[in-house]
């Protein structure tokens, strides 16, 4: 059987990308006032007409809108996002600096919340109605309602301040020249608290989806068929329930993976973690529009990539969604 | 009290199943005893809520416990199953006893290949390796009549047709050569033609393996030919049991007689109304003091309400009946009399010019889905050139297998689907979208009344909606109109405050009829209106529709897969195959003398509620299933399954629907030879 990705789906993704990029291009241009205000800041009123024209020409704002739009696309393809207003660094470099850190903590928290959520959700559903189930369910609902900054600060006060077990901020110990394993261990120690905060917050969603999906699956006729065949509980659980129950969870996980990037803004700020989220926070507070624009594109790309992943994975799990 | 044959394979004694619920417990099965010998077929017959499925699931140990409490004794080959540990039970399930369920689609795991699911039993019980199990699965699939079994073993359930899926389920059940097969309504979800194939298949396998079969069904017709013995259940109790011949010919229980009488049959006079059992089947309830059938029984007498009748031997031969008055039971005809049909509506006195709706060259094509890159792989030709007239005050029956396009035609009449080509006109007005007046004139009644009603609306408002929508009465007159409608369809008007889920299935369908009538329609399209109902209730709804037609003179389009029901209510019948009408004619002539081979095959497949040997000797079964409607066969669409297809003609030349005799249209080369 041949399996190929539906071209119609890919077209849909293409449309979303075009719309996102176009919005990103238009937003600063739709804001009130001249773009000069953004570039030159409050001093714009002091500039002479010549100076203004010179700046406009330098940044290419004197060209027709469609030319600017095409150039924007060109810039994206060549990886040129311009320069930060505040640091004057190329934004691409900034993103490359920060992306690994964000990937590290989101990746860690994704894996932890996925594994813990799925396993606990499965146990809960399997033991539905028991004390274990009800206990876990109410626990998860409580966690779901925690604000992320509060949880982060609680973890800092316990593990960093009270017990002095883990560092409270940064990604590496500054001004240290650790190498090899010591360096790696330093990175891990710094990543634990922010990753734990993200994991704890992401787990209830996975848990709920898994629990519900599994309860639904346990009611299916084919589970009864499996029992009628003489399958023991182990075989029923792993051979028949698990794979069917996990399918909807994959979609939820993929969406979470996409949104995890955006979720780092607060947590990275609380932990002063040098990732993309922190960069966005700084850019927002410093009105650094080009950086915000670039970050927006990166987040969009992350959500789309995660969705694409889910679309590609789903047919592997559920043969009914395979195109023939 | 229970006579157990010496060579019993399964002995069930005093089986009771209770569901503990907060408040009142439910007594689903009460003191049921029966046994079955190797090679025997026992038919367990009952309506919904009779406890038949729960009994069977408790034999298999598949009733979740808690909340269920199973008591009594179930012995398989001498071994007690009640209270057996899960581990020991697992060793028996699938090896010594196996079960086939009603819905093959939902009973197969969607993510595993069919071959692997069949092989799973072999791996569990015989310890076979995956490859060997798969090889054996192919042989089993081949045995149950699945063509190119090796390929199909690698398919997923959704890639098979309904009939194929049920064959695969049977292969799965028989993988480890069990001695007992429990088939729980195995053909209810299938077309008549496929149903007949499955009945034959299980019969063959049974002879081959000396298999004992418990066949659970609500339909006495299906099992008549194959059952050795019949057990009739109602309200969680066994009401009558005995040799099939005696149950069908000389039943000694009013309930059995009522069931037998209310089945629409091909050999029943059509001039009469279907005899009905009043009210709805009993729902599972708490402990009973008297006979569960008491409230519906025409011969209920003193004592019936507060004496629990025991199964008592009747005449011998193992025939037993749980009726206090079984000695003085009258014949079925007296208990459930046939009454003359309602007078033909005035307007219908055969004025052929009274054409209300005419359908011309109607085509409805749906784009084929799931293609790569929306490659125009073609279209599903749901309707492919249909011509039809619907006359005032008459009923047109539309029959055919599922997928033949009958539902699409019904929806097109109500303008719920848009024609791709062709025209429908109603009273001379062309209909191509659901305009206001058309909405009122054509009403529809659906198969499942519960899902066709807003669960948040009271019955009264459901019925009143068309009146409000079309401003047919001033607001203060609506209530009175609704009361009149409810009386007309036989609903107590005080029940108008209740919500749809609080009614029984039959009552819900009455609400649906009242809602349709509220619009004062001229045509009512009924799409399988009785298929989801119990047999005893089917007759009530069919009779109601006939009464309403007599009273209002409306035309009915009655869509059904059940040829016997269609025969009972229709004036004209159109047989559909793959989006086309292959035969059309007056009811009596079409049923007496079917011309098209497809019509003949459909009629031959209708089960007759007569024990073995009494049915028609004609056992020609229609082979295979409906080809893909996206890629219909060339020439005559039926030639791939036709027993009399002529080589070189039927596969190449498309027959035209032409008039074989006045009012009788057939599209078959053998009936209307092509001009040469």
- What is the DSSP annotation of B595-633? -SHHHHHHHHHS--SS-TTSS-S--PPPPS-PPPTTSPP
Q: Which residues contact B421 (CB under 8 A, 6 or more apart)?
A: B361, B362, B363
Give the per-residue pLDDT at B1: 39
- From CA B533, how far away is CA B49, in angstroms rounded? 12
Least confident span in A2-6, A37-41, B314-318, B350-354 = A2-6
Q: B156 touching A, CB under 8 A? A: yes
Give the per-residue pLDDT at A3: 45
pLDDT band at A245 (very low <50, low <70, confident <90, very high): very high
In a domain, B15, yes or no: no
In the block, residue with structure tokens 């209270």: B83
In a domain, B605, yes or no: no
Is B525 in the same domain as B414? yes
| CATH assignment at residue B240 | 3.40.50.300
Burial class (CB in 10 A: 0-12, 13-18, 19+), B621: middle
Q: A144 touching B, CB under 8 A? A: no
Q: A143 touching B, CB under 8 A? A: no
Are B276 and B336 spatial neighbours (Cβ–Cβ below 8 Å)?
yes
* Neighboring chain A residues of B111 at a CB cutoff of 8 Å: 243-244, 317-319
Residues in chain B: 676
Q: A5 touching B, CB under 8 A? A: no
**Considering CB atoms only, which of A7, A221, A229 is closest to B121?**
A229
* Neighboring chain A residues of B173 at a CB cutoff of 8 Å: 228
Give the per-residue pLDDT at B572: 93
**Considering CB atoms only, which of B95, B107, B109 is closest to A230?**
B95
Is B380 in the same domain as B514? yes
Closest alpha carbon within chain B to A317: B111
Closest alpha carbon within chain A to B126: A230
Of B130, B159, B177, the position where a domain reaches its end is: B177
Asked if the Cβ–Cβ distance from A229 to B124 is below 8 Å, we say yes
Q: A127 touching B, CB under 8 A? A: no
Beta bridge partners of residue B523, listed in sequence order:
B442, B555
Reduced to 3 states (helix: H, G, I; strand: E, B; else coil), residue B462 is: helix
Closest alpha carbon within chain A to B181: A228
Asked if the Cβ–Cβ distance from A227 to B374 is below 8 Å, we say no
Give the per-residue pLDDT at B347: 43
Is B274 in the same domain as B242? yes
Is B173 in the same domain as B185? no
Cα of B582 to nearest chain A Cα, Å? 32
Give the per-residue pLDDT at B327: 82
Phi and psi at residue B193, to the nearest 5°? -65, -40
Asked if the Cβ–Cβ distance from A232 to B90 is below 8 Å, we say yes
Asked if the Cβ–Cβ distance from B156 to A320 is below 8 Å, we say yes
- From CA B169, how far away is CA A225, in angstroms rounded? 9
- Report cis status (omega within 30 of 0) of the bond before B66: yes
Asked if the Cβ–Cβ distance from B108 to A231 is below 8 Å, we say no
Asked if the Cβ–Cβ distance from B111 to A319 is below 8 Å, we say yes
- From CA A164, how far away is CA A141, in angstroms rounded? 30
Give the per-residue pLDDT at B344: 57
Give the per-residue pLDDT at B417: 86
Give the per-residue pLDDT at A171: 82
Are A278 and A285 spatial neighbours (Cβ–Cβ below 8 Å)?
no
Residues in chain A: 324
In a domain, B663, yes or no: no
Give the per-residue pLDDT at B36: 94
Is B265 in the same domain as B170? no
User: Which residues numbered 103-132 in B keep a CB inside 8 Å of some CB on A?
Assistant: 103, 106-112, 120-121, 124-125
Give the per-residue pLDDT at B658: 87
Phi and psi at residue B462, to the nearest 5°? -60, -45
In a domain, B579, yes or no: yes
Is B239 in the same domain as B137? no
**Considering CB atoms only, which of A221, A230, A239 is closest to B91?**
A230
The 3-state DSSP composition of chain B as helix, strand, coil percent (nearest 5) reads: 35, 20, 45
Cα of A143 to nearest chain B Cα, Å? 32
Q: A216 touching B, CB under 8 A? A: no
> B460 versus A11: which is more confidently predicted?
B460
Asked if the Cβ–Cβ distance from A318 to B98 is below 8 Å, we say no
* Neighboring chain A residues of B98 at a CB cutoff of 8 Å: 228-229
Is B362 in the same domain as B476? yes
Is B413 in the same domain as B535? yes
In a domain, B620, yes or no: no
Calculate the dihedral angle through the C-alpha atoms of A60, A61, A62, A65, rounding to the nearest 10 degrees. 110
Q: A4 touching B, CB under 8 A? A: yes
Reduced to 3 states (helix: H, G, I; strand: E, B; else coil), residue B460 is: helix
* Neighboring chain B residues of A221 at a CB cutoff of 8 Å: 101, 103, 106-107
Closest alpha carbon within chain A to B125: A230
In a domain, B137, yes or no: yes
Of B119, B150, B177, the position where a domain reaches its end is: B177
Closest alpha carbon within chain B to A241: B109
* Neighboring chain B residues of A126 at a CB cutoff of 8 Å: none
Closest alpha carbon within chain B to A246: B111
Of B162, B177, B192, the position where a domain reaches its end is: B177
Is B239 in the same domain as B308? yes
The hierarchical CATH code for the domain A98-148+195-321 is: 1.10.3720.10
In a domain, B608, yes or no: no
Cα of B500 to nearest chain A Cα, Å? 25
Give the per-residue pLDDT at A110: 92
**Considering CB atoms only, which of A6, A222, A323 is closest to B108?**
A222
Is B233 in the same domain as B350? no
Q: Across the beta sheet with B26-36, what order do the strands follow?
A: B26-36, B10-19, B68-76, B79-80
**Considering CB atoms only, which of B86, B106, B120 is closest to A220?**
B106
Q: How do residues A148-168 score in pLDDT, each as one tens digit?
A: 889 999 999 999 889 888 888
Cα of B601 to nearest chain A Cα, Å? 33
φ/ψ bin of B117: left (φ > 0), alpha (ψ from -120 to 50), beta (otherwise): alpha
Domain boundaries, chain A: 7-77, 98-148+195-321
Q: B67 touching A, CB under 8 A? A: no
Q: A215 touching B, CB under 8 A? A: no
The CA distances from residue B186 to A117, B15, B196, B226, B241, in Å, are 39, 23, 11, 14, 21
Cα of B95 to nearest chain A Cα, Å? 8
Among A11, A129, A130, A222, most B C-beta atoms within 10 A, so best to mutate, is A222
Q: A8 touching B, CB under 8 A? A: yes
Asked if the Cβ–Cβ distance from A230 to B101 is below 8 Å, we say no
Give the per-residue pLDDT at B457: 94
Which residues of chain B are under the pLDDT cut of 50? 1-5, 345-350, 370-376, 614-617, 676
Q: A321 touching B, CB under 8 A? A: no
Domain hosting residue B194, numbered range: 37-61+84-96+179-285+295-339
If one counts the domains in chain B, the total is 3
Is B196 in the same domain as B244? yes
Is B396 in the same domain as B525? yes
Give the per-residue pLDDT at A28: 74
Q: How do residues A184-220 score in pLDDT, each as one tens digit?
A: 889 999 999 999 999 999 999 999 999 999 999 999 9
Q: How confident is the model over A28-41, as a mean pLDDT?
A: 68
Among B20, B95, B120, B155, most A C-beta atoms within 10 A, so best to mutate, is B120
Asked if the Cβ–Cβ distance from B109 to A225 is below 8 Å, we say yes
**Considering CB atoms only, which of B95, B109, B169 is closest to A240?**
B109
Give the per-residue pLDDT at A263: 80
Q: How do residues B436-451 score in pLDDT, each as one tens digit?
A: 677 788 999 998 888 9
- Nearest-CA neighbor of B359 among B317, B396, B307, B404? B396
Give the per-residue pLDDT at B4: 47
Tokens for B674?
A: 């092509």
């Amino acid at each position: 059987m041949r399996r190929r990705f539906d071209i119609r789906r890919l077209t849909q993704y293409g449309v979303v990308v075009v719309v996102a990029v176009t919005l990103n291009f238009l937003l600063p241009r739709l804001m009130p006032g001249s773009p000069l205000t953004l570039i030159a800041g409050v001093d714009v009123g002091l500039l002479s007409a010549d100076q203004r024209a010179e700046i406009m020409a330098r940044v290419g704002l004197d060209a027709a809108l469609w030319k600017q739009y095409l150039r924007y696309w060109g810039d994206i393809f060549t990886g040129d996002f311009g320069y930060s207003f505040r640091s004057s660094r190329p934004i691409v470099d900034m993103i490359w600096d920060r992306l690994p850190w964000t990937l590290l903590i989101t990746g860690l928290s994704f894996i932890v919340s996925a594994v813990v959520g799925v396993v606990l959700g499965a146990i809960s559903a399997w033991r539905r109605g028991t004390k274990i189930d009800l206990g876990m369910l109410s626990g998860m609902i409580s966690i779901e309602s925690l604000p992320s900054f509060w949880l982060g600060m609680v973890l800092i006060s316990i593990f960093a301040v009270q017990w002095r077990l883990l560092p409270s901020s940064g990604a590496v110990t500054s001004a240290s020249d650790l190498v090899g394993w010591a360096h790696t261990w330093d990175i891990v120690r710094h990543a634990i608290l922010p990753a734990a905060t993200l994991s704890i917050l992401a787990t209830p969603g996975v848990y709920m989806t898994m629990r519900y999906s599994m309860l639904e699956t346990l009611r299916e006729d084919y589970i009864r068929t499996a029992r009628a065949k003489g399958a023991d509980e182990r075989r029923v659980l792993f051979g028949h329930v698990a794979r069917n129950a996990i399918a909807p969870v994959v979609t939820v996980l993929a969406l979470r993976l996409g949104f995890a990037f955006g979720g780092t803004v607060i947590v990275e700020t609380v932990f002063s973690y040098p990732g993309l989220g922190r960069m966005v926070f700084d850019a927002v507070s410093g009105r650094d529009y080009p950086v915000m624009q670039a970050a927006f594109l990166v987040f969009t790309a992350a959500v789309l990539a995660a969705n694409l992943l889910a679309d590609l994975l789903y047919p592997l799990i559920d043969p009914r969604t395979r195109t023939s | 009290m229970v006579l157990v044959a010496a060579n019993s394979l399964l002995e069930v004694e005093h089986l009771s199943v209770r569901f503990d619920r907060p408040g009142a417990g439910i007594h689903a099965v009460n003191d049921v005893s029966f046994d079955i010998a190797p090679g025997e077929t026992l038919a367990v017959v009952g309506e919904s809520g009779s406890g038949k499925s729960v009994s069977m699931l408790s034999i298999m140990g598949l009733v979740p416990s808690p909340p269920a409490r199973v008591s009594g004794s179930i012995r398989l080959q001498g071994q007690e199953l009640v209270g057996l540990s899960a581990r020991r039970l697992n060793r028996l399930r699938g090896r010594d006893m196996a079960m086939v369920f009603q819905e093959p689609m939902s009973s197969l795991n969607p993510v595993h290949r069919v071959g692997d699911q069949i092989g799973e039993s072999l791996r569990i019980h015989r310890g076979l390796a995956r490859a060997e199990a798969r090889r054996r699965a192919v042989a089993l699939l081949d045995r149950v009549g699945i063509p190119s079994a090796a390929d199909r073993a690698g398919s997923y359930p959704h890639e098979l047709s309904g009939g194929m899926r049920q064959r695969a389920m049977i292969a799965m059940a028989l993988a480890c050569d069990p001695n007992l097969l429990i088939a729980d309504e195995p053909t209810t979800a299938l077309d008549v033609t496929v149903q007949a194939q499955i009945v034959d298949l299980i019969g063959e396998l049974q002879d081959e393996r000396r298999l004992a079969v418990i066949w659970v069904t609500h339909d006495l017709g299906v099992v008549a030919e194959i059952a050795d013995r019949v057990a009739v259940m109602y309200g969680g109790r066994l009401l009558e049991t005995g040799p099939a011949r005696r149950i069908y010919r000389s039943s000694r229980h009013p309930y059995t007689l009522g069931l037998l009488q209310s089945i629409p049959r091909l050999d029943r006079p059509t001039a009469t109304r279907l005899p009905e059992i009043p009210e709805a089947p009993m729902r599972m309830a708490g402990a009973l003091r008297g006979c569960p059938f008491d409230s519906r029984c025409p011969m209920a007498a003193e004592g019936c309400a507060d004496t629990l009748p025991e199964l008592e031997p009747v005449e011998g031969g193992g025939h037993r009946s749980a009726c206090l008055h079984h000695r003085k039971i009258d014949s079925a005809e007296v208990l459930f009399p046939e009454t003359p049909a309602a007078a033909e509506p005035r307007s219908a006195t055969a004025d052929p010019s009274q054409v209300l709706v005419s359908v011309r060259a109607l085509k409805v094509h749906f784009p084929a889905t799931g293609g790569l890159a929306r490659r125009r792989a073609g279209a599903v030709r749901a309707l492919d050139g249909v011509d039809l007239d619907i006359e005032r005050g008459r009923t047109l029956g539309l029959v055919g297998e599922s997928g033949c396009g009958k539902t699409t035609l019904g929806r097109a009449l109500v303008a719920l689907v848009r024609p791709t080509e062709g025209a429908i006109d109603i009273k001379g007005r062309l209909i191509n979208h659901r305009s206001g007046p058309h909405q009122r004139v054509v009403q529809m009644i659906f198969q499942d009344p519960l899902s066709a009603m807003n669960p948040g609306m009271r019955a009264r408002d459901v019925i009143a909606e068309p009146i409000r929508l079309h401003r047919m009465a001033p607001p203060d007159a609506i209530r009175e109109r609704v009361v009149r409608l409810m009386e007309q369809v036989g609903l107590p008007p005080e029940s108008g405050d209740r919500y749809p889920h609080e009614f029984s299935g039959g009552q819900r369908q009455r609400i649906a009829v009242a809602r349709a009538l509220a619009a004062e329609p001229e045509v009512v399209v009924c799409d399988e209106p009785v298929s989801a109902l119990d047999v005893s209730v089917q007759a009530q709804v069919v009779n109601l529709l006939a009464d309403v037609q007599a009273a209002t003179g409306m035309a009915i389009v009655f869509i059904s897969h059940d040829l016997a029901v269609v025969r009972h209510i229709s004036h004209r019948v159109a047989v559909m195959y793959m989006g086309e009408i292959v035969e059309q004619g007056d009811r009596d002539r079409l049923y007496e003398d079917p011309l098209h081979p497809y019509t003949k095959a459909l009629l031959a497949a209708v089960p007759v509620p007569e024990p073995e040997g009494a049915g028609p000797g004609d056992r020609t079964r229609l082979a295979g299933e409906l080809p893909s409607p996206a890629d219909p066969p060339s020439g005559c669409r039926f030639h791939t399954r036709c027993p009399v297809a002529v080589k070189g003609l039927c596969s190449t030349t498309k027959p035209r629907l032409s008039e074989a005799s006045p009012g009788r249209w057939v599209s078959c080369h053998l009936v209307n030879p092509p001009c040469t």
